[in-house]
Structure 1
Amino acid sequence: MKITKFVASAFIVLATSAASFAQNVDEIIAKHIEAMGGADKWKTVKSMQMNNKFSVQGMDIESKTTIVAGKSLRTEVSVMGQDIITAVDGETGWMQRPAMMGGTGEPEDMPGALIKETLKQTNLGGSLLSFKEKGATIELVGKEKLDGADVYHLKMTEKNGEVTNLFLSASTYYTLKSAGKRNVQGQDIDAEVNFSNFKQIEGLTFPFTMETPSPMGGTMTIETESIKLNPTIDESIFKKPGKK
């Protein structure tokens, strides 16, 4: 009888702890969304344009990204007088690269895995804002240190099994780091981004500095120069053009 009571008590404790843990996850995500400006305000953003700059091996590079929320994205990168264009429109995507950068100079279809990965960037407000609608689940791994600061480590598992580890500041609830493995053209790569220099635009919070491992080695720092919310966009720019 004592053993039965002990087992029953143990189950109650475990169930209570699990419920409390789940509640903590919901509270953390709710505070994150509030810190980013709130779900209702993000829903009013239907389009966005962003200008960035960064350096790779001494080359100054500028980029312009145009987004229609949840649907389309186009990025234009200017390198040494040459333009690289990538665009997704729903489930289709294309890219245009000069011959000196491994392309043909003509529009080419984008690999399916890269389309899906690029399309994530159209989720304005970040992945935590709409993870439930997209069939993802999130668990709290624990509270850790990141560069000396307290962070909440969240593990997000998407419907297709893809895992992203998110590290949220325990004081501001901003996302300070995102990390996971991605399959690009048959190769598994580490996709890691560190976020900082947070600023507000019309009441919404954006990281103006992003650091990510560079394909050339070392770290690449991307600085945002300007952000425009709800600009008028000609959606034909996302369509794949014909060959010249």
Structure 2
Amino acid sequence: MKISKMMGAALIVLATTASAFAQTADEIVTKHIEAIGGLEKWKALKSLEMKNKFSVQGMDIESKTVIVSGKSLRTDVSVMGQEMTTVVDGETGWSIRPVMMQGTGAPEDMPIAMVRESRKQLNLGGSLFGYKENGSTLELAGTEKVDGADAYKLKLTEKNGDVTNIYLSTSTYYTLKTSGKRKVQGQEIDAEVTYSNFKQIEGLTFAHTMETPSPMGGSMTIETESIKLNPKIDESIFKKPAK
């Protein structure tokens, strides 16, 4: 009798595992896009403005990011009365960092590797949108738990070789976590972000809480205070100023 029960339990596990792989990676991506608003609504999103706040070692930090889809982005960060600006404009980028942040206070060209990584934010719907057209490949790598929730693990490999693991909830199809290894200033680091507090804005779903390991140790939680869709943006803000 015990053996019969054990076999029955094993069959249930095998059936559950099989159902997870019954869907292809593309079918899961299609459900993900539908869950967060649908392809047409995301295609209609041409620009975005987002304001965030977070704390690092007791310092309150505020940021504002504006993005023109597929083209440019600018992030302005305010901390302890100091301002830091990071811009990507097409295939190039620049930044202004105050002396307290190991900068010069003048516009500096951004390293190509950082530009390449920052350009991923230009795809407002996320890296799964149009991944084939971008030269990436995708595979379903199983299911895992993310903070107690079941998630599909999708392995996205970009044409430059960068690999990102994307974890989508098996129930909501929202993105619960992304992880991967990236090189920053010649050093390889683990880049991991978990997402929660999902809210709809004009029919599109955004995570309003993001948590990532802090360079200072522990974790850093970023809270989104506001998101504006299709705001008018003066694109001159992306142009590198003269020193």
In the alignment, what sits opposite 2:182?
182
| TM norm structure 1 | 0.90
In the alignment, what sits opposite 2:208?
208
Moved more, 116-125 or 183-192: 183-192
The structure-2 alpha-carbon separation of the partners of 1:23 and 1:169, relative to structure 1 and needing over 3 Å to count, comes to closer
CA distance in 2, matches of 1:204, 1:33: 10
Deviation at 1:23, TM superposition (A): 5.1
1:177-206 deviations in whole A, cap 9, x for unaligned?
000001122111111100000000000000
1:161-182 deviations in whole A, cap 9, x for unaligned?
1100011100000010000001
In the alignment, what sits opposite 2:17?
none
CA distance in 2, matches of 1:23, 1:192: 26
1:30-179 equivalent positions in 2, closer than 5 A: 30-179=30-179
CA distance in 2, matches of 1:91, 1:102: 24
- Contact 1:56/1:220, CA 8 A, preserved across alignment: yes
- Contact 2:21/2:142, CA 8 A, preserved across alignment: no
In the alignment, what sits opposite 2:197?
197
The structure-2 alpha-carbon separation of the partners of 1:22 and 1:93, relative to structure 1 and needing over 3 Å to count, comes to farther
- Which secondary structure state, in structure 1, belongs to the residue aligned with residue 233 of structure 2? coil
CA distance in 2, matches of 1:164, 1:144: 15
Query: Which one-letter code corresponds to 2:91 in the other structure?
Result: E
| TM norm structure 2 | 0.90
Deviation at 1:100, TM superposition (A): 1.1
CA distance in 1, matches of 2:40, 2:132: 16
CA distance in 2, matches of 1:151, 1:33: 15
CA distance in 1, matches of 2:59, 2:186: 29
Count of residues paired in the alignment: 224
Query: Which one-letter code corresponds to 1:219 in the other structure?
Result: S
Deviation at 1:146, TM superposition (A): 1.7
1:130-184 deviations in whole A, cap 9, x for unaligned?
2111011110000222222111011000011110001110000001000000112
In the alignment, what sits opposite 2:29?
29
In the alignment, what sits opposite 1:3?
none
Deviation at 1:119, TM superposition (A): 0.8
- Contact 2:182/2:191, CA 8 A, preserved across alignment: yes
1:226 pairs with 2:226? yes
1:51-82 deviations in whole A, cap 9, x for unaligned?
00000111111000000001100000000000
Identical aligned pairs, as a percentage?
A: 74
Structure 2, unaligned runs of 5 or more? 1-19
1:30-69 deviations in whole A, cap 9, x for unaligned?
1000011111110111100000000011111100000000
CA distance in 2, matches of 1:231, 1:148: 37
Structure 1, unaligned runs of 5 or more? 1-19
- Contact 1:22/1:139, CA 8 A, preserved across alignment: no
CA RMSD of aligned residues (A): 1.2
